[in-house]
Structure 1
């Protein structure tokens, strides 16, 4: 098979997108990052993609009559670009049936906790408030649940007594930026030969 074509879906700042894009551009991931999509037309990640020379598209789900209509339009965009693999990098939407059926076991998410602990939107804060001594990052395929898909890899960070929520967030993001490109490279090497 030729090198897979990859799309990143993101909603916000885009630091994970940038790390992934740079890994693709350096040849550390054997694939072609051809598209960034954001559901937030004002997200900073769109500026990052422009700086990196990667095509970016954006439209808001608010402009569609239903989630299905939004996902059908997004799926058409992905099909037009011949996307083989989707990477979620801070994409703050639950993926619905339309995309799940079109990309079974080909949508990867990164989540800032050691799943199954602390799923959902506030994984870092939830772990911090629970007083755990260890948390981390999970990279997983997505399914129709919230952060329930098959786990590909996890990395751990220690929560020290003097950590603040902000310092814990910094530790988690540093681990994400290290782990996500490595895991994506491995998944592509094992699944797209």
Structure 2
């Protein structure tokens, strides 16, 4: 028998669940609860290795969403990373190629600022499953370069990804920041769709 804990319910529901029916890629082991299956829909299903269900009390096991937010940026501030892609490339390149450009910029921005306090909080083991990233779009290269210059002038750390060997900018990603610090620079941009 397994425990199903949903963030909006104060006490977990006991739910009959067979470990054999869980996909092995979602299985992990916890010192406190034994085998755990984390499903993509975000509930946490747990099985006690001794065979008896255990109740998760407040403060044990997974944090609720509010506690997770507080732990990220201090002062209840969400730590966020912005990724900006070019719409002209989205319309002309294969989708996978454009997504790859965003991934390159995002990873580079994090790696270049790996010793930064906000990056450390963003990448902390307790926050890995709840990172906040916003993907936006600009019309083309000119707008991307203008945004880059605007961020540079304001002292905002970012990575402008330059595709090689073509040597032109394809996307931009900020290092992780508290949302209130960087959101004003991105308010006029549209969500990438």
Higher normalized strand content (fraction of residues): 2
- Shorter-chain TM band: under 0.3
Higher normalized helix content (fraction of residues): 1
Normalised TM-score (structure 1):
0.25
Normalised TM-score (structure 2):
0.25
**Higher CA-based Rg:** 2
